[in-house]
Amino acid sequence: MDGPSGTGKSTVSRRLALRLGVRYLDTGAMYRAATLAVLYRGVGLADAAALAEAVAHSQIEISTDPQRVAVAVDGIRVDAEIRSGPVTAAVSAVSAVPAIRAQLVRAQRELIGAGGIVVEGRDIGSVVWPAAAPKIYLTASSAVRARRRAGELGSGSDLAAVAQDIERRDRLDSTRAASPLAKVADAIEVDTTELDIDEVVNRLVDLIRTSVRHG
């Protein structure tokens, strides 16, 4: 399942995995964990080689149990820390480093290879697992995406600033050289603007059942 931030990917993917009784992988959390590792080490975001080396020497672990989402860096749980403002501001720059993407994609493929998993990210259908079926691409209006993201950040969030940050991340993610955000030709697009989480999950369950019947 691919798509930009604020479309409901994380919540929808996890609930879908619970509904289907399969594992769940949030690849975005892996990139956030890598970003946190870089920030811990004080590496400058403009030094791609140093960024890649820092991530290569970090131990990043992620749970695939949808009932117990957990992320650790070097043995320390960082579930809350990877959602912090500094990580959000830096994650697109770290994610754009080809060597970092290559390292994390290898880890993602190992987890996916065991089968029975819902995976969310920005390049799952295009790069990480092109054989995935069905491929889903979630979208939503810019205003709704900003409102959802502001809700995640808390009551003190500036909606205009959140909208600007989403626009910045979209631009960086869609124009980076390594694995840019893009909808692949065979992905099914689902617009979540007017849908709540349960409605999106129900629609995806129907799509998956149809895919299985015709697969």
Q: What is the pLDDT of residues 72-98, one digit of tens each?
A: 999 999 999 999 989 999 999 999 999
Its pTM stands at 0.90
CA distance 37 to 59: 9
137 domain-assigned? yes
116 domain-assigned? yes
Domain of 40: which CATH number?
3.40.50.300
Q: Are 202 and 17 in contact (CB under 8 A)?
A: no
Domain count, the chain: 1
Q: Are 80 and 91 in contact (CB under 8 A)?
A: no
151 domain-assigned? yes
Residue 181 burial (10 A CB sphere; 0-12, 13-18, 19+):
buried
Q: What is the pLDDT of residues 124-165, one digit of tens each?
A: 999 999 999 899 999 999 999 999 888 877 767 788 998 998
Domain that holds residue 187: 9-214
**Among 48-62, 107-121, 126-140, 144-158, the least confident range:** 144-158
